Amino acid sequence: MRPLSHGPEEPCVHNALLAWVRFSRGLARAATWVTYAFCLPAAFAGTMARVFVYGTLKKGQPNYKHMINTAKGLAKFQGRGRTVEKYPLVIAGKYNIPYMLNIPGTGHHVAGEIYTVDEQMLQFLDEFEGCPEMYQRTLMSIEVVEWEGKGGAGEGRAAAEGVVECFVYSTTTYPPEWVGLPYHDSYDSSGKHGLSYVLRESRD
């Protein structure tokens, strides 16, 4: 976790006041600093990491092209799943972007896809998702619904039968009014909600 810096001569009272202001702005925003460490690609040097995607990076969605672009790294589809805990999945902002708000116990069990990715792809995803400012990458428990993974026999069998831990890009840095938006259990840019995602190259 990156330490919060203060001037060397700041009085304790001032430190306490700063702490209270930060607290009053929401514990969720403070969690951004906690999750910052998970956005360092070196943490998984030489290994594959599991990532759960629920929005525009899924198959058939506007940004899936990035998941199959080997110039950005390696991503292998493993299966489909849903979050063990409920979360609010909202479509928000000027460009109709899907966001999973990191508020466990609220909303729905969010559906998505499970991939294993290499370090290069993980670094690309961190940059693409604006981690840690826009989204934060944290580990979540994902219930496997359909498994196609071809890992080791024991690992594949265990995954196919239960729950796996995956990195998920959710957010704690959102406007308070987003909590009042409609919650979705699955995202489709062309869904009945009528909020089509605006590609980055089409934004003003």
Sorted by sequence, the CB contacts under 8 Å of residue 14 that are 6+ apart come out as none
Q: How far apart are CA 3 and CA 11, in angstroms?
A: 18
Closest of 190, 141, 140 to residue 162, by C-alpha: 141
Cis peptide before 176 (omega within 30 of 0): no
The token duo for 112 is 């998505």
- How high is the pLDDT of residue 47? 84
User: Alpha-carbon distance 93 to 106, whole Å?
Assistant: 20
User: pTM for the complete prediction?
Assistant: 0.77
DSSP H or E segment with residue 52: strand 49-53
Say how many C-beta atoms besides its own lie within 10 A of residue 5's C-beta.
7
Which two structure tokens, joined as six digits, stand for 132?
């840690």
Domain at 27-189, CATH class: alpha beta
Between CA 172 and CA 51 the distance in angstroms is 18
Count of Cβ atoms closer than 10 Å to residue 76 Cβ: 16
pLDDT of 39 reads 60
| CA geometry: angle 72, 68, 204, nearest 5 deg | 70
Going residue by residue through the chain, which has 204 residues, state the pLDDT in tens, using 9 for 90 and above. Answer: 334 444 444 444 344 434 443 443 444 444 444 444 446 444 445 689 999 999 999 999 999 999 999 999 999 999 999 999 999 999 999 999 999 999 999 999 999 999 999 999 999 999 999 999 999 999 999 999 999 876 555 555 556 669 999 999 999 999 999 999 999 999 999 999 999 999 999 998
As a whole number of angstroms, the distance between CA 166 and CA 50 comes to 5
Query: Left if phi > 0, otherwise alpha if psi is -120 to 50, otherwise beta: which for 200?
Result: alpha
Within 10 Å of residue 21's Cβ, how many Cβ atoms? 9
Question: Catalytic site residues?
Answer: 129
In three-state secondary structure terms, 61 is coil
Q: Record the tokens describing residue 96, joined without a space.
A: 């109709």
